[in-house]
């Protein structure tokens, strides 16, 4: 390059830099304004009719903030980007006519087709399934009265109490804008800075740091509606209601080590697990429960029933099981049936309405607005996966992706050319009417004082955990906060955490290198057994066992064990040195599903170690020992064939709890199945 050319580059670059610099704006130290420059006086609450009243559409600042947030990502979802779907049906157990007009809940035995989508929150579509995160479950009921969308999350509490805060927490939770790091984890400074400075978030964060944040399977995920809805019966009487899905298989989690390792070994672990179970005919099942509170009992409890950051204890507000969801068909096309499925809590049917829960009020705007942006048109609900099964007629026309071919020329009301059709339907004939709840109060940005107890229920949750769950929660906090660079943020968080439990905060402080906090936790000793997932059903069915096997195995012993496992619904995967087949001493051949290059002990709930002969015996033996070591330290059950006892090193430092030996044990098969059903042996040393 000659000198003249070199000189000419600099001014060009400088000019371009100056052009770009005018768009580089620092917000630090400046007042918060709208995009039009109007100074904002309150950035924490939506505009409501009274502190406990419904949201108002005149709240231009919330509409601007939320609408912009909904459009921040192109084209995937801003949150819940990584998800997976399946189809099924919901069967009503008993009539709920006394509290709701909803048609799909009127008759025992009535079945309604559904589509379900599970998802994480933080990561992009390319993230991994097992990250410690909040998980969500959207259920679309294709009812005879229209589509009903029931959107749930895997915790009974939300991280915010007002929808104005939702864009903020997600901004803090997701990756940084300069380097797009980290992906699918909240273990970074910005998120924990948010937690430390927004104490209402600590309740849900504690749930996420517990085993609930790293679930074993979508099939074993409990989920709650979080928001408070209304059931409305034919007499016009309203009842407050929250929903919960309880998995028939119980609620089970990974260990932190398993979750982290599986993120690299098999990023699609949960999606594969769901699809495999359905393909094998072991359909995931979830029972639908409702918690009901009469209108006159709204202020009966020591928590605000409209606060989405508070749970309704089952011991105080019993869960009534009213039906069952069965997922019995896998999707055929991920894009059209999962990526394009769109949920909206405003999609309700007669008999279901809305309380003044402020987050619910905000969601009624946010979801449809988000879907219209993400899917490119207000006609997204004409896509096959979103289209209702019942007929729908209205006066909307045109727009991107319009599929209906409307042949009538009158698309307005009132009219005489079409005899004023489409016509409205009176309530007594099924027309939807909003519940006429009483509204009073001044137009205000505010929050009910009853929302401001941030720590009592978090303390109750902590009290309700078993020692094993408490240790796992300590590990969760220690790992996440241990990745925070700022010592100040680490210190602020343990100073906040002391309100929940002083010992918890002190141990975490020691682990992450900050000062133990002063002060003490809130004086609450209440505990509820329903909050511990240790009090959950356990089954061997659909647990996955890795069978580590080589040539020359004992045909009779192994085939009998495999038969017993299959009879009990246990999923079995044969793992050996190479793909193909392995042959027993008497000629029995078994097909190998994975070799040592593709298998990992983290992929299995349990191991059956058989051993045998291999081309590279030293490596074969090393793999056996490694698999056993990983399974053992993660408290998994292990079955040991008569030929494999030499792989198990015994000493005074281990009690071999959950390790079942076949040698001289005629009951090995049944004992191994029982161990698989127990799933974890926390008393193991």
Cα first-last separation, the chain: 70
How would residue 81 be classed by pLDDT, with cut points 50, 70 and 90?
confident
Q: How would you classify residue 71: left for phi > 0, otherwise alpha for psi between -120 and 50, otherwise beta?
A: alpha
Mean pLDDT along residues 71-99: 89
At 613-641, the pLDDT tens digits run 999 999 999 999 999 999 999 999 999 99
What are the tokens at 422? Answer: 């489409």
pLDDT of residue 69: 84
Inter-residue contact 186 to 204 (CB < 8 Å): no
Answer whether residue 5 shows pLDDT above 60: no
Contacts of 219 by beta carbon, 8 Å cutoff, 6+ apart: 247, 249, 273, 274, 277, 284, 542
Q: Phi and psi at residue 394, in whole multiples of 5°?
A: -160, -175
pLDDT band at 612 (very low <50, low <70, confident <90, very high): very high
CB proximity list for 484: less than 8 A, separation 6 or greater:
187, 188, 189, 192, 490, 493, 512
pLDDT for the residue numbered 112: 96
Contact between 574 and 589 under an 8 Å Cβ cutoff? The reply is: no
Peptide bond into 75 cis (omega under 30): yes
CA–CA distances in Å: residue 628 to residues 515, 521, 574, 622: 39, 41, 15, 10
Find tokens 């089952």 and name the residue: 314
pLDDT of residue 412: 85
Average pLDDT over the chain, rounded to an integer: 93
Long-range Cβ contact pairs of 464-471 (< 8 A, separation 24 or more): 464/527, 464/528, 464/529, 464/530, 464/531, 464/532, 465/210, 465/531, 465/532, 466/532, 466/534, 468/534, 468/682, 469/210, 469/211, 469/532, 469/533, 469/534, 470/504
How much is the average pLDDT of 292-307? 97
β 47-49/443-445 pair status = antiparallel
Domain 455-531 has CATH 1.20.1370.20: yes
Kindly report the length of the chain.
685
**8 A C-beta contact, residue 658 and residue 676:** no
* Predicted local confidence at residue 33, as pLDDT: 82
Q: Residue 454: how many CB atoms within 10 A of its CB? A: 20
Per-residue pLDDT, 378: 87
Distance (Å, whole) CA 683 – CA 672: 17
Do the beta carbons of residue 225 and residue 149 sit within 8 Å? Answer: no
Distance (Å, whole) CA 380 – CA 368: 10
Percent residues over pLDDT 90 in the chain: 77
Alpha-carbon dihedral sign for residues 3, 5, 6, 8 = positive
Residue 9 has what pLDDT? 39
266-296 pLDDT tens trace? 999 999 999 999 999 999 999 999 999 999 9
Label residue 42 by pLDDT band (50, 70, 90): confident
For the chain, count helices (H), then strands (E).
16, 20
> pLDDT tens-digit profile of 160-196?
999 999 999 999 999 988 898 998 999 999 999 999 9
Question: Which residue spans within 454-543 are E strands per DSSP?
Answer: none
Confidence of residue 654 (pLDDT cuts 50, 70, 90): confident
Between 547 and 389, the higher pLDDT residue: 547
* Cis omega (within 30 of 0) for bond into 534: no
Compute the distance between CA of residue 469 and CA of residue 533 in angstroms, rounded to an integer.
9
pLDDT band at 26 (very low <50, low <70, confident <90, very high): confident
What is 47-382's CATH superfamily?
Catalase core domain (2.40.180.10)
DSSP letter, residue 561: H
Pairing of strands 544-549, 571-576: parallel
335 DSSP 8-state letter: I
Of the listed ranges 324-328, 354-358, 394-398, 413-417, the one predicted with least confidence: 394-398
Alpha-carbon separation of residue 294 from 51, 300, 301, 324, 509 (angstroms): 21, 10, 12, 24, 44
Q: In what order do the strands lie in the sheet with 638-640?
A: 594-595, 571-576, 544-549, 606-611, 638-640, 659-661
DSSP string, 517-584: P-S---S-----GGG-TTSS---STT-EEEEEE-BT--HHHHHHHHHHHHHTT-EEEEEESSSEEEE-
- Locus of tokens 């929808």: 163
Is residue 141 within 8 A of residue 90, CB to CB? The reply is yes
| E-assigned strand segments in 499-603 | 544-549, 571-576, 580-583, 589-592, 594-595
- β-strand partners of 47: 445
Residue 318 phi/psi, 5-degree rounding, is -60, 150
Residues 309 and 274: beta-carbon distance below 8 Å? no
Query: In this structure, are residues 545 and 565 in contact, taking their beta carbons and an 8 Å threshold?
Result: yes
pLDDT at 70: 84
Please report the pLDDT score of residue 21 as a whole number.
73
What whole-number distance in Å separates Cα of residue 596 and Cα of residue 612? 14
Question: pLDDT grade, residue 7 (50/70/90)?
Answer: very low
Fold of 544-678: Rossmann fold (3.40.50)
Q: What is the CA radius of gyration of the chain?
A: 28
Tokens 């007929």 sit on residue: 391
Query: pLDDT digit string (tens) for 103-119?
Result: 999 999 999 999 999 99
Predicted pLDDT at 4: 40
Q: Is 562 within 8 Å of 626 (Cβ atoms)? A: no
What residue spans of 117-201 are helical by DSSP H? Answer: 166-173, 189-197
- Listed range (197-211, 226-240, 423-437, 471-485) with the worst mean pLDDT: 423-437
Q: Which two tokens stand for residue 470?
A: 């408490």
Between residues 398 and 232, which one has the greater pLDDT? 232
| Residue closest to 495 by CA, chosen among 486, 505, 485 | 505
- Best CA proximity match to 256, nearest among 473, 470, 83, 533: 473
- 154/212 Cα distance (integer angstroms): 8
pLDDT value of position 20 = 61
Answer with the residue of higher pLDDT: 394 or 598.
Answer: 598
Classified as helix, coil or strand, 484 is coil
Asked whether this chain's domains 455-531 and 544-678 adopt the same fold, the reply is no
Average pLDDT over residues 212-232: 98
Measured N-to-C along each axis, helices 467-482 and 202-209 cross at an angle, to the nearest 10 degrees, of: 110
pLDDT exceeds cutoff 50 at 52: yes
Mean pLDDT, rounded, for 505-534:
97
Token pair of 67 as six digits: 């609408």
Q: How far is CA 439 from CA 55, 117, 230, 388, 435, in A?
A: 11, 35, 15, 33, 11
Chain segment 431-460, per-residue pLDDT in tens: 898 999 989 899 999 999 999 999 999 999
What band does 233 get if pLDDT is binned at 50, 70 and 90? very high
Instruction: Parse the chain into domains and list their residue ranges.
Output: 47-382, 455-531, 544-678
Specify the pLDDT at position 2: 44
Which region, left, alpha or beta, applies to residue 658 given φ > 0 means left and ψ of -120 to 50 means alpha?
Answer: left
State mean pLDDT over 359-368: 94
CA dihedral sign of residues 294, 299, 302, 303: positive
Mean pLDDT of 602-611: 98
Burial class of residue 525 (count of CB atoms within 10 Å of its CB; 0-12, 13-18, 19+): exposed
């Amino acid at each position: 390059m000659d000198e003249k050319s070199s000189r000419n580059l600099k001014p060009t670059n400088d000019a371009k830099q100056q052009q770009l610099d005018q768009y580089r704006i620092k917000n630090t130290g400046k007042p918060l304004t709208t995009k039009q420059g109007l100074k904002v006086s309150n950035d924490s609450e939506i505009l409501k009719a009274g502190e406990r009243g419904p949201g108002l559409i005149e709240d231009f600042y919330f509409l601007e903030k939320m609408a912009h947030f909904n459009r921040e990502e192109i084209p995937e979802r801003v949150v819940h980007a990584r998800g997976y779907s399946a189809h099924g049906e919901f069967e009503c157990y008993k009539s709920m006519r006394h509290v709701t007009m909803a048609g799909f809940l009127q008759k025992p035995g009535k079945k309604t087709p559904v589509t379900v989508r599970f998802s994480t929150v933080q990561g992009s579509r390319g993230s991994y399934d097992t990250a410690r995160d909040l998980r969500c479950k959207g259920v679309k009921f294709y009812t005879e009265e229209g589509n009903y969308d029931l959107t749930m999350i895997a915790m009974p509490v939300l991280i915010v109490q007002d929808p104005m805060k939702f864009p903020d927490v997600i901004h803090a939770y997701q990756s940084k804008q300069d380097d797009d790091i980290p992906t699918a984890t909240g273990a970074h400074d910005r998120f924990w800075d948010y937690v430390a400075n927004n104490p209402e978030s600590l309740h849900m964060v504690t749930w996420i740091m517990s085993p609930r944040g790293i679930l074993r399977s979508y099939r074993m995920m409990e989920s709650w509606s979080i928001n408070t809805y209304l059931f409305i019966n034919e007499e016009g009487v309203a009842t407050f209601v929250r929903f919960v899905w309880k998995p028939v298989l119980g609620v089970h989690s990974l260990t932190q080590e398993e979750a982290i390792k599986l993120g690299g070994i098999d990023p699609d672990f949960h999606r594969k697990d769901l699809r495999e179970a359905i393909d094998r005919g072991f359909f995931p099942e979830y029972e639908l429960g409702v918690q009901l509170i009469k209108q006159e009992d709204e202020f009966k409890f020591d928590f605000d029933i409209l606060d989405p950051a508070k749970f309704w204890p089952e011991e105080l507000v019993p869960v009534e099981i009213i039906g069952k969801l069965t997922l019995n068909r896998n999707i055929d096309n991920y894009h059209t049936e999962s990526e394009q499925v769109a949920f909206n809590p405003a999609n309700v049917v007669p008999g279901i309405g809305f309380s003044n829960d402020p987050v619910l009020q905000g969601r009624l705007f946010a979801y449809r607005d988000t879907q219209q942006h993400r899917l490119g048109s207000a006609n997204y609900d004409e896509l096959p996966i979103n289209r209702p099964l019942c007929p729908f007629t209205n006066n909307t026309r045109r727009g991107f992706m319009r599929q209906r071919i409307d042949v009538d020329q009158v698309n307005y009301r009132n009219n005489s050319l079409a005899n004023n059709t489409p016509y409205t339907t009176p309530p007594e004939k099924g027309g939807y009417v909003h519940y006429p709840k009483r509204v009073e109060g001044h137009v205000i940005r505010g929050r009910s004082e009853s929302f401001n107890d941030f720590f009592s229920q978090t303390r109750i949750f902590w009290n309700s955990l078993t020692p094993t769950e408490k240790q796992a929660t300590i590990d969760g906090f220690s790992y996440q906060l241990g990745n925070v660079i700022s010592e100040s943020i680490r210190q602020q968080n343990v100073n906040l955490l002391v309100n929940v439990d002083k010992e918890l905060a002190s141990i975490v402080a020691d682990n992450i290198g900050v000062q133990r906090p002063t002060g003490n936790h809130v004086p609450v000793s209440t505990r509820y057994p329903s909050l511990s997932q240790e009090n959950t059903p356990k089954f061997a069915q659909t647990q996955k066992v890795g069978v580590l096997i080589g040539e020359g195995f004992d045909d009779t012993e192994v085939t009998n064990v495999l038969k017993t496992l299959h009879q009990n619904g246990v999923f079995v995967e044969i793992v050996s040195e190479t793909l193909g087949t392995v042959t027993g001493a008497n000629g029995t051949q078994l097909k190998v599903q994975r070799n040592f290059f593709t298998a990992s002990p983290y992929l299995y709930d349990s191991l059956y170690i058989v051993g045998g002969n291999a081309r590279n015996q030293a490596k074969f033996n090393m793999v056996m020992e490694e698999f056993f070591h990983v399974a053992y330290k993660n408290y998994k059950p292990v079955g040991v064939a008569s030929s494999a006892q030499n792989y198990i090193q015994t000493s005074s430092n281990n009690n071999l709890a959950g390790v079942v030996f076949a040698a001289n044990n005629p009951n090995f098969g049944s004992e191994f199945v029982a161990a698989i059903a127990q799933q974890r042996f926390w008393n193991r040393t």
